[in-house]
Amino acid sequence: MDEDVNTHHDMTDKSAEENIFSIKPETLKDLLIKKHDKFLENYRKELTGIKEKKGREFVLKKIVEILPDKTDLLEYWSKNLEENLNKINDDALAQEIREKIIEYRKEKQDAEIEFSTKSGELDEIEKEINKDRVENSEEWLARKIESHEKSLNFWKNYKTEGEKKAEEKKKKEMEKKAAEDVKKKEMEKKAEEIKKKEMEKKAAEEKRVKHKKAKKEKIGNK
């Protein structure tokens, strides 16, 4: 039984090894680029999460710091109105003040509930940030990101033998085409020069014939 298992493992390992060596260099390069891209995406998300926690912590601290002052102020306003309520003889104004007192007390109650909620949220975030700090998560993630960025940059710029040959072939084809273009232009230029000379020769011949004819006609008229 054990022998069968070992044989199976040997065959599996051999198969895996054959699969690795059967991958084309270009395909392997693409796989490595995708791998490093994926790691970078995940690590950057984690690092962004840590920074967002710190940003949220800052906001919560400000809220928790301000809310007690708000509740104290609302308490002061409601008590001040209560003290002055007995001095008011106008029923309509007295009713307006009572409504304002109720409004201030409701706002104070809401502020106290918000303070309790935000304080709890702040405690949780501070625990997470302290945990990240103890585990050096931010520094560790920054190192990982730098490492994968270097690897990604290497593989993106790395040229396999196939790619090098393809580039060399393309370069030679471009050089050949450039040489052919130069040769073509030279031939076209030469053809233009020949055509020009032929036209000049033809024009000179026509002029000579015309002159000869005119001379002959002149002699005949005498």
pLDDT in tens, 80-100: 988 888 887 888 888 898 999
Tell me, yes or no, whether 130 and 114 share the same domain.
yes
Sign of CA dihedral 194, 196, 202, 207: negative
Tell me, yes or no, whether 80 and 183 share the same domain.
no
Tell me, yes or no, whether 173 and 88 share the same domain.
no
Domain that holds residue 54: 2-158
Tell me, yes or no, whether 33 and 142 share the same domain.
yes
Q: What is the pLDDT of residue 103?
A: 93
Tell me, yes or no, whether 171 and 154 share the same domain.
no
Tokens standing for residue 32? 């490595």
* End-of-domain residue from the set 158, 190, 206: 158
Q: What is the pLDDT of residue 16?
A: 45
Amino acid occupying residue 81: L
Total domains, the chain: 2
Rg, Å, the chain Cα set: 46
Tell me, yes or no, whether 87 and 187 share the same domain.
no
* End-of-domain residue from the set 115, 142, 158: 158
Model confidence pTM above 0.85: no
Q: At what angle do helices 161-221 and 25-85 cross, to 10 degrees?
A: 110
* End-of-domain residue from the set 158, 178, 207: 158
Tell me, yes or no, whether 113 and 204 share the same domain.
no
Tell me, yes or no, whether 142 and 182 share the same domain.
no
Tell me, yes or no, whether 64 and 152 share the same domain.
yes
Rounded-to-integer distance, Cα 218 and Cα 210, Å: 12
Query: Please, are residues 73 and 111 in contact by the beta-carbon 8 Å criterion?
Result: no
Q: What is the pLDDT of residue 71?
A: 93
Tell me, yes or no, whether 34 and 89 share the same domain.
yes
Per residue of the chain (222 residues), give pLDDT as tens: 444 444 444 444 445 445 555 677 778 888 888 888 898 888 888 888 888 888 999 999 999 999 999 999 999 999 998 888 888 788 888 889 899 999 999 999 999 999 999 999 999 989 988 887 776 677 888 888 888 888 888 888 887 777 778 888 888 888 888 888 888 898 888 888 888 888 888 888 888 878 777 777 766 665
